Amino acid sequence: MISTKGRYALRIMIDLAEHRNGGFIPMKEVAARQEISLKYIERIMPVLTKNNLVKGLHGKGGGYQLTREPDEYTVLEVLQAAEGDLAPVSCLGQNAEPCPRAGECRTLPMWKEYYDTIRSFFEGRTIADLMASSPADNYVI
Amino acid sequence: MISTKGRYALRIMIDLAEHRNGGFIPMKEVAARQEISLKYIERIMPVLTKNNLVKGLHGKGGGYQLTREPDEYTVLEVLQAAEGDLAPVSCLGQNAEPCPRAGECRTLPMWKEYYDTIRSFFEGRTIADLMASSPADNYVI
DNA sequence: TATTTACCTACTGGATTGGTAGTATAATAC
DNA sequence: GTATTATACTACCAATCCAGTAGGTAAATA
């Protein structure tokens, strides 16, 4: 399950995209708009900075800004930055020791395919796509 | 992430399918073959029984058997039985209270689409498919 | 110098994971 | 009816993760 960290990271990125004006946007504003605790946002941002998704500036007039255009961020890279690994099973994780049963495992191929499916899904969407998406799109009768 | 419960449940079902002979198969054998602790398997089976995926019989000559043919089980129903909900975000969970931001959430439509993608993926595969799948299938250069 | 903001570290309560231990219950074989 | 085998149930446990909170530091500006 995608945790709040990943979900909030996406919403923060979208917020920064929607309110970008060339300058820096203080997290206080994002926190208010997104109704996420400022303290918790402050824990999420450093990892986004480290992954070069945003740039932070200290002090008055400071805040964060995107480093690229919204359509240049895939959802995948934002989620991976915030969540770490997106592996659906532990044996496919980054630092998983090789499973001794891998050679005979009947389920491993499916998990790999599943992992690919997940990544393609999120790689095929950008922050710009999310900005355009409206919840009403989804009301299907 | 799919936990061991779901992954083991699948492997147990496949094992029961591969060794089915009309009778009941004791979990002791499955545990040995699959290298899963018998005690842990015993914790997984009751929920599979409750969901009518397998049938258990006490005593000598007892064990478990499938209630249908392997191609009549989708991977989805096995995972759902073992894992409960497969919702990728908490706001889409079974007993999640409705999110007050749902109407304006830019990410909700994606999560719903993602949930659908997940379910289709697992609904499109059966236990029989897994029996046929070989790990070697996946060695791509 | 005061204010604002990002950034860092440590802590916490609660839930989940991945089991184990022990016992009860049911079915069969003798 | 007794022993054996096997499922089923309940309780427990250590470790980890989640979702935050608290408090302080560092940097930039006015």
Which run of H or E residues covers position B64? strand B63-66
User: How many CB atoms are closer than 10 A to CB B100?
Assistant: 9
- pTM of the full predicted structure? 0.93
Residue segments in chain B with a per-residue pLDDT below the cut of 50: 139-141
The answer to whether B58 CB sits below 7 Å from nucleic acid chain D is: yes
Alpha-carbon gap: A111 to the closest alpha carbon of chain B (Å): 10
Q: How far apart are CA A16 and CA B9, in angstroms?
A: 43
Q: How far apart are CA A108 and CA A92, in angstroms?
A: 9
Contacts of A125 in chain B (CB under 8 A): 110
Q: Using alpha carbons, list the distances in angstroms from residue B102 to A114, B29, B52, B99.
A: 28, 49, 35, 5
Name residues 40-59 of chain A with a Cβ under 7 Å from nucleic strand D.
40, 42-43, 57-59
Q: Estimate the crossing angle of helix A38-50 against helix A75-83, to 10 degrees.
A: 110
Residue at A30: amino acid letter = V
Q: Residue A125: which of B1, B110, B125 has the nearest Cβ?
A: B110
Check pLDDT > 50 for residue A65: yes
Phi, psi torsion values for B38, nearest 5 degrees: -55, -40
Check pLDDT > 80 for residue A136: no
The answer to whether B88 CB sits below 7 Å from nucleic acid chain D is: no
Cβ contacts from A onto B, under 8 A: 84
Token readout for B102 is: 């749902």
B48 DSSP assignment? H
Token readout for A52 is: 């070069």
Mean pLDDT across A26-39: 98
Per the listing, tokens 């498919």 go with B129
Q: Residues A65, A67, A71, A75: is their CA dihedral positive or negative?
A: negative
| Torsion from C-alpha of B9, B15, B19, B23, nearest 10 degrees | -10
Token readout for B127 is: 């236990």
Over the stretch B80-118, which tens digit does the pLDDT of each residue have? 999 998 999 999 998 788 889 999 999 999 999 999 999
Over the stretch A36-52, which tens digit does the pLDDT of each residue have? 999 999 999 999 999 99
End-to-end CA distance of chain A: 27
Is there a contact between A122 and A76 (Cβ–Cβ < 8 Å)? Answer: yes
Residue A62 confidence class, pLDDT cut points 50, 70, 90: very high
